[in-house]
Amino acid sequence: MNYSANLRILKEIVKGSKLPVDDYDHHDFLAPKQLNRQCLGRESFDALVDQFVHQSNTKRRGLGQLEQFRLHWDYILLNLSQSIFRKHWLSISLDNNAYGPKGDYWLRKYAFSLTAIKDIVSYLEANDLIHKKTGKLYKNDPARTRIFPKPVLEEMLWHYFLDIEQPIKPPYVTINEGRSGWNTTVKGLKKDHPDRKDLKAINNFLKGHHWACKAPVRLVYNQTALQGGRLITPFQGLPDRTYRVRINTLIDGEPIAEVDFNANHLRLNLAVVSRENAGDTPYEDIGEVAGVEDRDSIKKVITVAMGASNEGEARSSLSRKGLGKVLVDKIIAGTQKRYPKLQLFTEWGLSAQNLEGQILKEVMLRGIEKDIVCLPVHDAVAVTQGNAEWARETMLQVWAEQTGGGRTKVKVDMP
């Protein structure tokens, strides 16, 4: 399938969709983006940027400042083009402190200019080209403003979506909220550290391939290098429930399949902690014991309960997600009866994330040996459809190796 035909399919999928939900899970932070070298629309995009720069440059900028201003227009327009299909708000910090020495690591690393960003956002707002929500405070995070393109701007930008990529450059191993010196430890990993070597190999291989939202694959830890080592890349953030965008994209021009582990954290918990096989249908088994038919609610309760440090924390989180006490009581009781050895309320979910990340990383490394692109998607990998069976077999094999002989199940999803 050619990319032009694929782009029309994706545009039809998101046609007439509502504004994204305004929560943390539907925010993308500004990142440097560029059009790939083969992009046929580069000339038209450059002309569009030139037009915006000319109309918005109301200050006396020298050549260097003007070049920087134009680069920021590139970044914001390309990020907004992706917002159309990702169904995410573009989150932009307009807080001076975020750009200072103790501010946001990525804002400083990418050398973003607050002045340029403010001028661009002001222009877009004044010309009624964006929806804008004023900065909102988040825990341990500065206030950020969220923007999303209005229809007039969408029509200018959607054509470029499949040609947008983020430069694949390190760091490939990072940490979110390092504690007790872990920030320094993770950033100071030696070049021959297994994580750094593996992620460098993966990203060097991926550089020569093409997919939607192309960007580095990073191994991201939570607070320590023992917690939550997840593989993260923007591709996995494409919507695939309400709007089936991700599964309808291409890898190197070929339709994809997603091969994912079934009930993975629950199965990992039982396999690693008690050497127990969860069976063919663990969520359904729990539902039968609990008298609950809603599989999604069962999955939510178990996922939260495994990730929480105590039962009170889990119940508070589930209540915020709209799950009532009676339903939660039933599911927890049913889970403990069906799987009495399952570790709940011990933060085991962080260990599961770590192990899951290592399993998917190994699958990707074996893909390199076969010249097969594998993109991580939470507890799954995306591959071209011709490689779906290879991915299924490899995932089962690696899972068994990493869990000491445990057995799991995978399923294959196609457009």
Q: Mention every residue, 6+ apart, whose C-beta is less than 8 A from residue 105.
A: none
Average pLDDT over residues 147-170: 96
Whole-number Å distance between alpha carbons of 82 and 337: 46
Determine the pLDDT at residue 374.
98
Least confident of 185-194, 263-272, 342-351, 398-407: 185-194
The DSSP secondary structure of 147-202, one letter per residue, reads EEE-HHHHHHHGGGGGGEE----S--EEESS--TTHHHHHHT--TTSHHHHHHHHH
- How far CA 100 is from CA of 44, 79, 105, 115, in Å, comes to 36, 23, 9, 13
Task: Report the chain's terminal Cα–Cα distance, integer Å.
Answer: 13
For residues 331 and 371, the answer to whether their CB atoms sit within 8 Å is: no
Q: Mention every residue, 6+ apart, whose C-beta is less than 8 A from residue 104.
A: 93, 98, 142
Determine the pLDDT at residue 95.
83
Determine the pLDDT at residue 136.
59
Does pLDDT of 122 surpass 60? yes
Does pLDDT of 75 surpass 80? yes
For residues 15 and 87, the answer to whether their CB atoms sit within 8 Å is: no
Of the two residues 228 and 381, the one the predictor is more confident about is 381
pLDDT band at 17, cuts 50/70/90? confident
Does pLDDT of 102 surpass 90? no
pLDDT tens-place string over residues 347-399: 988 888 889 999 999 999 999 999 999 999 999 999 999 999 999 999 999 99
Does pLDDT of 191 surpass 70? no
- How far CA 400 is from CA of 40, 355, 395, 413, 415, in Å, comes to 45, 12, 9, 22, 28
Whole-number Å distance between alpha carbons of 154 and 152: 5
Report the 10 Å Cβ neighbour count for 283. 21
Question: How high does pLDDT run on average in the chain?
Answer: 91
Determine the pLDDT at residue 184.
42
Average pLDDT over residues 151-159: 97
Q: Is 320 exposed, middle or buried (0-12, 13-18, 19+ CB in 10 A)?
A: exposed
Percentage of residues in the chain having pLDDT higher than 70: 92
> Which H helix or E strand runs over 305?
helix 295-307
Determine the pLDDT at residue 289.
96
> Which H helix or E strand runs over 382?
strand 380-384
Average pLDDT over residues 90-111: 85
For residues 26 and 88, the answer to whether their CB atoms sit within 8 Å is: yes
Determine the pLDDT at residue 35.
96
Average pLDDT over residues 231-256: 96
Report the 10 Å Cβ neighbour count for 123. 18
Could you give phi then psi for residue 140, rounded to 5 degrees?
A: 60, 25
Determine the pLDDT at residue 141.
55
Average pLDDT over residues 306-316: 94
Does pLDDT of 235 surpass 50? yes
Residue of 393, 385, 395, 389 lying closest to 364 (CA atoms): 395
Average pLDDT over residues 158-177: 90
Pair of tokens at residue 357: 């990340």
Does pLDDT of 180 surpass 80? no
pLDDT band at 222, cuts 50/70/90? low
Determine the pLDDT at residue 226.
45
Please give the DSSP secondary-structure letter assigned to residue 4: H
Please give the DSSP secondary-structure letter assigned to residue 93: -
Residue of 77, 71, 82, 73 lying closest to 28 (CA atoms): 82
